Amino acid sequence: MAMAGESSNNNYGDCDGKSHRKVGLVYDETMCKHDTPNGEDHPECPDRIGVIWEKLQLAGVSQRCVVFGGSKAEDKHLQLVHTKDHVSVVKSLSTKKKDYRRNRIASQWNSIYLNGSSSEAAFLAAGSVVELAEKVAEGELDCGYAIVRPPGHHAEPDEAMGFCLFNNVAVAASYLLDERPELGVKKILIVDWDVHHGNGTQKMFWKDPRVLFFSVHRHEHGCFYPAGDDGDYNMVGEGPGEGFNINVPWEQGRCGDADYLAAWDHILIPVAKEFNPDIILLSAGFDAAIGDPLGGCRVTPYGYSVMLKKLMEFAQGKIVLALEGGYNLDSIAKSSLACVQVLLEDKPIQGSSEAYPFESTWRVIQAVRKKLSAYWPSLADVLSSNLIDQKTSTPIIVFSSSDSETEDYADDILDQMSRLNIENHHVDTVSTSWRRDLSKVDVWYASFGSNMWKPRFLCYILGGQVEGMKKVCVGSMDKTPPKQIMWESFPHRLFFGRESSVTWGVGGVAFINPLTNLNDQTHMCLYRITLEQFNDVLFQENGLKVDSDSPLFGLDTLQLVEKKGSIPLASGGWYGNIVCLGKECDIPILTMTCTLSAVEKFKSGEIPLRPPSEAYANTMIRGLVEGGRLSEEEAKAYIDNAASKPL
Ligand code: X5A
Ligand code: ZN
């Protein structure tokens, strides 16, 4: 099979001397031609693979991989898992001259559209996964990612379904086992983290102990697509394949990193150790990603990278990702990039997620472990109550996530916030219900000073004080810890000023200039909290009480700051100026600093610039180091630099 792409694309050896893994990528524009017959919008759209490819190129990672164009699957390989009939029906689509003939075929299947290029794309998608899996199995590549469409995991032996025509991953698995015995692949682990159950793959290996199929999916007791009992945890396989089919069926939406990683740590990873696969094929749908319009779950790029990294400990890292679903273009591009960076092993994984699994998640995990412990002894232990006590109970749903039946993509949070704003306006003016309203909106609070150290920030949420603080915090009314934590850098100037503060005593505290300056970069730790909690942080930062009748910063002000970039509030405190630094996952990133007029006073010397006290600097250093952002030396140098440069 021919190598496609620019010849410069095979320089997988690094110029800086660091060796990283030989990672294969398949991308072929031809697969963009599969589209709806009349150009109607559809979530499984041609741009999906294009945006992923573009992201990998812009990030400079595709250039460090071995890139292949697609290759078409052979009929006999497709027939390892599909009926002869199904293969020939899909093949025949290309010769049909009229749309209505294809539409007739499409209408006999569930959730399928077809055009004149669907057949070619389907053969390419399957063939590309086969080719990539073959190269990884042979050792020519260490691992790889096939950026293909149409997806595959819903496709059953004799029918297309759920946007899938051929079961790409299943074809590749059977090819390795049945057609290439000399490669020595005897056991394959298929992991399916697409938000939907991989019903097709499950069926194809139902009685086959050579393939361990693991699918984690939103199930909702059989109400989520593809509805029914197939995705239930009781479905463990049959005959010689009994015990080699594992379903983790979420009872609810909104599952995120914590839920998925709990399934990894307490089900998949122990079983993978026992099974000891020769290669892993990953049905890598990204529709459980935060922001996905169909999935309604919340896995972050960081979550995907940790899940992938954990799988790379098996089969000497031989792993092949094949794209399945994923319908938010931004989310799938970012998640894909995070995964390829893990495949390249070129830097430690950045980020953290702080939320706990849902109560329902522990219930599901316990049920799965109990059912499967008959086949996998490592699942037999009862999980400790300390562990399962770490949970988040289900919050009130405001931004309801869509599901398969409604397929409503109107999850534009801003849009919803402006609606909220209108609906709640008169309520706010006649009562003090601001807390209830603002508790329904999430923001990222970006901290650049002592709050970068999580235990110090948690004083503002849970109450209390940490080493070096001279004052106790009361905490916020809603004591839920941040739902997520993330690090980013922003083009603002960090500086330290004031003679002393109540909390830290003598020495300057951190500010940023509200104006952007592309020559400066300030590290910030982002906490995902509610707008209600943000107000409580703001109250405490500015020495005010949290039992106020009105918020300092409400939905109207949020809209304004998103437009204007920064707005001073009537708090009179040092941190009463709110700055909007942008958005992440459609959620605004806010920070608090001094006003522009205060910056002028720092510049003129009317208020002194002062380096921070040792206790304050140490708190910042702990934040930067424990958050994985900088080494201790780098953190010290970063603070020294900010404290010594004139404004
Ligand atoms: C591959 C994939 C989803 C089908 C949903 C149909 N299919 N409502 O994510
Ligand atoms: Zn899906």
- Domains belonging to the chain, first-starting first, are 23-389 (3.40.800.20), 435-644 (3.10.490.10)
298 contacts 401 by C-beta, under 8 angstroms: no
CA 50 – CA 225 distance, rounded (Å): 26
The reported pTM is 0.64
Pocket of ligand 1 contains residue 295 by CB under 6 Å:
no
Say what the pLDDT of residue 611 is: 96
How many Å lie between the centroid of ligand 2 and the Cα of residue 293?
Answer: 11
Ligand 1 atom closest to 287 (CA): 9
Site to probe by mutation for ligand 1, drawn from 34, 42, 44, 192 as the one with most ligand atoms within 8 Å of Cβ, is 44
Cβ atoms within 10 Å, residue 442: 21
590 contacts 560 by C-beta, under 8 angstroms: no
Pocket of ligand 1 contains residue 194 by CB under 6 Å:
yes
Helix axes 555-564, 413-430, angle to 10 degrees: 140
Nearest CA residue ID for atom 8, ligand 1 = 404
**What would the two tokens of residue 258 be?**
């914590």
**Residue ranges of E strands in 149-266:** 188-192, 211-218, 245-250
How many Å lie between the centroid of ligand 2 and the Cα of residue 324?
Answer: 6
Bond before 240 cis per omega within 30 degrees: no
Relative to the alpha carbon of 48, which ligand is closest? 1
Say what the pLDDT of residue 97 is: 83
**Residue ranges of E strands in 291-340:** 319-323
Ligand 1 atom closest to 325 (CA): 9
Pocket of ligand 1 contains residue 113 by CB under 6 Å:
no
Say what the pLDDT of residue 76 is: 98
Cβ atoms within 10 Å, residue 559: 15
Pocket of ligand 1 contains residue 162 by CB under 6 Å:
yes
How many Å lie between the centroid of ligand 2 and the Cα of residue 380?
Answer: 30
Pocket of ligand 1 contains residue 575 by CB under 6 Å:
no
Mean pLDDT by 10 residues, the chain (647 residues): 39 50 97 95 97 97 96 98 98 91 95 97 98 98 98 98 98 98 98 98 98 97 94 98 98 94 97 98 98 94 96 98 98 98 87 84 97 97 91 51 33 32 31 79 96 95 90 88 91 95 94 92 95 95 86 92 89 91 91 95 94 96 93 95 94
355 contacts 256 by C-beta, under 8 angstroms: yes
Q: Which amino acid is at 331?
A: S
How many Å lie between the centroid of ligand 1 and the Cα of residue 196?
Answer: 7
CA 125 – CA 33 distance, rounded (Å): 12
Q: Which of 452, 498, 505, 520 is nearest to 599 (CA)?
A: 498
CA 270 – CA 141 distance, rounded (Å): 26
472: helix, coil or strand? coil
How many Å lie between the centroid of ligand 2 and the Cα of residue 162?
Answer: 8
CA 518 – CA 210 distance, rounded (Å): 55
CA 6 – CA 26 distance, rounded (Å): 13
The residues assigned a catalytic role are: 154
Say what the pLDDT of residue 18 is: 53
Say what the pLDDT of residue 4 is: 40
Site to probe by mutation for ligand 1, drawn from 153, 167, 196 as the one with most ligand atoms within 8 Å of Cβ, is 196
Pocket of ligand 1 contains residue 192 by CB under 6 Å:
no
CA 418 – CA 421 distance, rounded (Å): 5
Ligand 1 atom closest to 294 (CA): 5
**What would the two tokens of residue 606 be?**
């009317």
Bond before 209 cis per omega within 30 degrees: no
Ligand 1 atom closest to 110 (CA): 6
Q: Which amino acid is at 178?
A: D
Relative to the alpha carbon of 195, which ligand is closest? 2
Nearest CA residue ID for atom 6, ligand 1 = 162
